Structure 1
Amino acid sequence: MRTGLCTPVPERETPVLQSKPNDFEGNFTLKKTPLNPLSIVKAATYDGQSSWRDYRAHFETCAEIKQWDYKDKGLHLAVSLRGKAQGVLGNLAHNSKDYDSLLQALGRTFGAS
């Protein structure tokens, strides 16, 4: 024990273990946890500059993986639009902003002729 003006502090009696890099010796096991595709898949944005057909295929694949229902697909598609494609959403009548109406409007504007 050290003595002095402060409260006595006991000396360390046990040695401190010094670990070396990569010296695991079975102390623990690293467990790989598979990533959940529902948490990592996200639909890209669409601005009307690239192929509508390609984007729609990408979006439909994301929707299938995420298991979106009809209403969810419409909402996710709407929020993925940017630029000129977002303008198509703005031009739809308020009561016709469902998924099919949005697909038709985007197809008319950006689809193959």
Structure 2
Amino acid sequence: MDPLENYFGARNALTASEDQLKARADEHGLTVIEFIILAMVGRGRDRSGIIATETGYNPTTVSHNISDLEDRDLLKRERVEGDARGFKLCLTEAGRAIVATIPESF
């Protein structure tokens, strides 16, 4: 396969994945980034900095979306013992219910 065919094949696969991700987020009344944050916390990424680094989203954007998820009682921040500034992210019962519907392949 030539590089141009590889490029378009990868682009089409990415577009299909993005469409599936948006549809899954919409099912729960979430934005794509909110859905991604919940999924990542559900998979053990419990610090906002880790989420920002791994997704490529701006840390401020991640923080604002975490606040929105907290306001909707899907996520909560808990202090990290021994780290005066640190918080870890935890799913609430409602957040766990959403994460439970996410296939491992997502």
Normalised by the length of structure 1, the TM-score is 0.26
Structure showing the higher helix proportion among its residues: 2
Q: Which has the higher strand share?
A: 2
Structure number with greater Rg is: 1
TM-score (norm 2): 0.27
